[in-house]
Structure 1
């Protein structure tokens, strides 16, 4: 099998996640399926001011700018107890060393010492080199037990929009790129309280991470190429809006949880299973499960693949000593009834 599988799946009009979710909600009036959310309806600005966070006239697209003074970021107006979080994203082009674009969920503002987090982090690159990114999760403040995986992409993410999705339920977490599920974490007794369990908000940021983002900090941000711009459009927030203090369950929350739980990995098509396996074998270049310097005994939830262990042990160990997406602080309505999809129009 070659990379044609990925390209074919990237052009899929409706994602697997949505198809399965629609099957789950058919005949259910209590909880609506995922919909695209306008910025005014679902989000608030974190930092960046009027010059570094720009919204389109239809309020469906956000441009985040990084210059020598500041980056930019926004977050969802509400927190969610499990959910489907998604956006079509186009990353900055040309020379982008030292830049981090993050699309993630977190509750660190509410639970400073016991926060949960799920990350897509795109690590800037030198022109002509493949983009690298990582996924990660933290649960209950377990920052000393990061569960990072790092990969390269099979396409240029600065040329066209691609959909990135985080699915979080009470039993599993799946990271998707377009229709490809690139990583799945199943809740297990071995993980204990490390599995994210408290309501989280969705965040998106662009910021200067020169000290570590590209080749361990060897290549810094070069502001000769500024501003660096990432575009995010067709944002989706689908979950139970929750008050993290009261943490009250409602019938609607139970309906949504049931919807999300029906998206089972074992229902993924054979082609998608093959794409997942191919992606991890070819494009994953680091996994915490195989980092014997960091974890002489692999964390208990890890299932070791002998072939991956042999390959990954030769690839070195990225520097995870610094916390990610810590940014510099210098300085009304759903758009339509259209269901979100992952159609790649470019």
Structure 2
């Protein structure tokens, strides 16, 4: 995918999809697992339920598990309702993310939801991340608590991706907006990606920098996925032909004023880490960061966690072992 071919795909898909994020998954088709996805790894640790509309991924001493979309996509709206494992989950990571690392090993793109397990009595944390053009040396991680326990019930997690912005949603509330800036250069995801969901053992880094590890006494750890939405511009990986439907609604309307208020309230109450304020990793904040002194002061009490400079992402596809904050008032 080079030169004029890639430029044509970007322009073509973006023009077709340009008017679509306010159409949430409530207005997007929920598809059976077999229509949009295939098992990635895990053998019997991936089980399909509810007439093909729900899938359970489990982690035990033998292996984790995962699934992958049939198609590559260039922009779109991607969503799933997820219920996470309960009890002691330290070292466990559940991921719902987009990547093209299998096709572009040296300059891949990635858009991540990562759910980080915890010791008993402490809730899961949620982490978002964005890589573009292999920019893993600049991890754009943010980390949050949630206003609910994600192990109690299903909640919706969504990614809206256009040529100019990426928006992460939890239960239709935007929690993060990443806008493409000129200073980011190729660090903004711009190549077709596949959608993945995985559960795996990340004992080396996921909970307090590896202090707490997966305890298989509590296995199997089961993550449940339902209400799967793939609503984007599918791309043929060989012919480089975009398979966008002409009747698709666009995804570029962005965050409304009312949604922005909710997003700002969420971030003030629940964000515990932002790469922009991590002086241990970045002597100078990346160019797209806008430093807010009040936000910096609030985040100062949270210790930055070592993420391994992005190197941990390759472990997601290993097939064998080895491979909330306290609830606040609603916003």
Alignment TM class, shorter chain as reference: 0.7 to 0.9
Could you tell me the TM-score, scaled by structure 1's length? 0.82
Q: What is the CA-CA distance between 1:67 and the residue it aligns to? A: 0.5
Partners of 2:21 and 2:98 lie apart in 1 by: 23
Alignment of 1:76-87 (within 5 A): 76-87=69-80
Alignment correspondent of 2:270: 283
How many pairs are equivalent? Answer: 298
Q: Is the 8 A contact 1:90 1:160 kept in 2?
A: yes
Task: Specify whether residues 259 and 54 from structure 1 end up closer, same or farther in structure 2 by C-alpha distance, changes over 3 A only.
Answer: same
**Contact conserved, 2:21 with 2:254, CA < 8 A, in 1?**
no
TM-score by length of 2: 0.85
- CA offset digits 1:247-290 (Å, max 9, x no partner): 3457x46764x7112x222x242xx3232112111211110111
Alpha-carbon distance in structure 2 between the residues aligned to 1:249 and 1:41:
18
CA distance in 2, matches of 1:199, 1:19: 18
Whether 2:179 is the aligned partner of 1:186: answer yes
Query: Separation in 2 of the partners of 1:166 and 1:113?
Result: 24
- Closer/same/farther in 2, CA of residues 325 and 114 from structure 1, 3 Å limit: closer
Q: Secondary structure at the match of 1:78?
A: strand
Aligned-partner Cα distance in 2 for 1:293–1:107: 29
1:239-250 aligned at under 5 Å gives the runs 239-249=232-242
Q: How does 1:93-108 map to 2 (within 5 A)?
A: 93-108=86-101
Report the counterpart of residue 148 of structure 2 in structure 1: 155
Partner of 2:313: 324
Give me the whole-angstrom Cα distance separating, in 2, the residues matched to 1:52 and 1:20. Answer: 35
Preserved CA contact (<8 Å) 2:68 2:197? yes
Contact 2:108 2:134 in 1 (8 A): yes
Consecutive unaligned residues in structure 1, runs of 5 or more: 1-16, 23-32, 332-346
Q: How does 1:32-71 map to 2 (within 5 A)?
A: 34-49=28-43, 51-71=44-64
Deviation track 1:35-77 (CA, whole Å, cap 9, x = no partner) reads 001111000101110x200001410000001110001000000
The aligned residue for residue 124 of structure 2 is 131
SS, match of residue 192 in structure 1: helix
1:242-321 aligned at under 5 Å gives the runs 242-249=235-242, 252=244, 256=248, 259-261=250-252, 263-265=253-255, 267-269=256-258, 272-321=259-308
Q: How far apart are the structure 2 equivalents of 1:19 and 1:133?
A: 22
Q: 1:254 to 1:18 in 2, by over 3 A?
A: closer
Relative to structure 1, the CA distance from residue 19 to residue 295 in structure 2 (aligned partners, 3 Å threshold; closer, same or farther) is: closer
* Match for residue 145 of structure 1 among 134, 138, 149: 138
Determine if contact 2:234/2:242 at 8 Å carries over to the other structure: no
SS at the partner of 2:183? coil
Pick closer, same or farther for the CA change 1:284–1:178 going to 2, 3 Å. Answer: same
Q: Judging changes above 3 Å, is the alpha-carbon distance between structure 1 residues 176 and 57 closer, same or farther for their aligned structure 2 residues?
A: closer
The residue aligned with 1:88 is 81
For 1:275 and 1:20, the matched residues in 2 are separated by 15
Give the direction of change, closer, same or farther, for the CA distance of 1:246–1:18 in structure 2 (3 Å limit). Answer: closer
- Ranges in structure 2 where 5+ consecutive residues have no aligned partner: 1-18, 322-331
